Amino acid sequence: MTEGGVDEVKGVRKAQKAATRQRVVAAARELFEGAGYEETTIRMIAERAGVSVGSVFTTFESKVDIFNYILFEKFELLIGELQRIAPHLKGTCCDRIVSLMSIAYGVECRQLDLMISHLAASHGWPDRIEVENARRQQRLVGLFHDCLMHGVNRGELRADLDLALLTETLMAVYLRNYRRAYYERLEAEALSGLIERQVKLIMMGARAG
């Protein structure tokens, strides 16, 4: 076999592997959304994707790694949307943060089951996944942090604020509201009204003067 032929075989294998990966991810996403993360097994994913259990394991180490990959994709879409919008936001610091969170609710509520599975799994997954998740969340926190920084620089907010603590508190409130979305079937719009009241309360204490 010529060298070019070897490369060709390698290329085909690589393409096959990528195709398997895509099918596994698509099948897993449907199952995580439908049956939920805990209920879904690798066997179910393999069956739905039309591949062997062994093939699933050649593309991903474990179920939680497939989930983590899906969360990574989901997060990139969300953060991309928020970063695109962030420079165009107007109004007070409070308005900007509420706008960002409302947009995020709009995006996440379109795939609420996946978001709920994400939040549920996040309380019990391995440390290595938690590290990646925390890193992603830091990027989201960074957007809120920038809004607050902007507010401080404009003299709208107090200069002595503990911005890390403030953003973390806002973030916790933001995430917690998904519970209301799920159990009270609140739409993104209702969540947006709720977060506005909560952020207003918190930001009242952060105002300058």
Partner 1 sequence: MQQSPLRPPYEPIGAAQAESILPTSQRLLSKLRTRAKVMTAARQLFSANGYEAATIRDIARAAGMSTGAVFANFQDKADLFETVMAEDFDRVADVMRAAAEASESQFLVDRLSIVFAAAYRDGFTDVPLVQAAVAQSWVHPRSAEVRGRARARITTGVITDLLDQAVRTGELHADFDVKLISEMLWDAFIGNYRRGSFDGWTPEQQMTRLSDQMAVILAGTRRA
Determine the Cα angle at 32 with ends 170 and 81, to 5°. 45
Instruction: Tell me: does residue 93 bind partner 1 (CB under 8 A).
Output: no
Q: Which of 88, 69, 105, 124 is nearest to 199 (CA)?
A: 105
CA atoms within 13 A on the CB side of 109: 23
Q: Which is nearer to partner 1, 22 or 169 (CB)?
A: 169
Instruction: Tell me: does residue 120 bind partner 1 (CB under 8 A).
Output: yes
Residues 2, 87, 88, 127: which binds partner 1 (CB under 8 A)? Answer: 127
Q: Nearest distance from residue 50's CB to partner 1, in Å?
A: 27
Q: Nearest distance from residue 166's CB to partner 1, in Å?
A: 6
Q: Which residue has the tokens 């060709």?
A: 8
User: What part of residues 153-192 is at the interface with partner 1 (CB under 8 A)?
Assistant: 162, 165-166, 168-169, 172-173, 176, 179, 182-183
Residues 50, 80, 155, 205: which binds partner 1 (CB under 8 A)? Answer: 205
Which residue(s) pair with 157 in the sheet? 207
CA atoms within 13 A on the CB side of 47: 6
The Cα–Cα gap between 70 and 41 comes to 16
Residues that bind partner 1 (CB under 8 A): 36, 38, 116-117, 119-124, 127, 130, 162, 165-166, 168-169, 172-173, 176, 179, 182-183, 197-198, 201-207
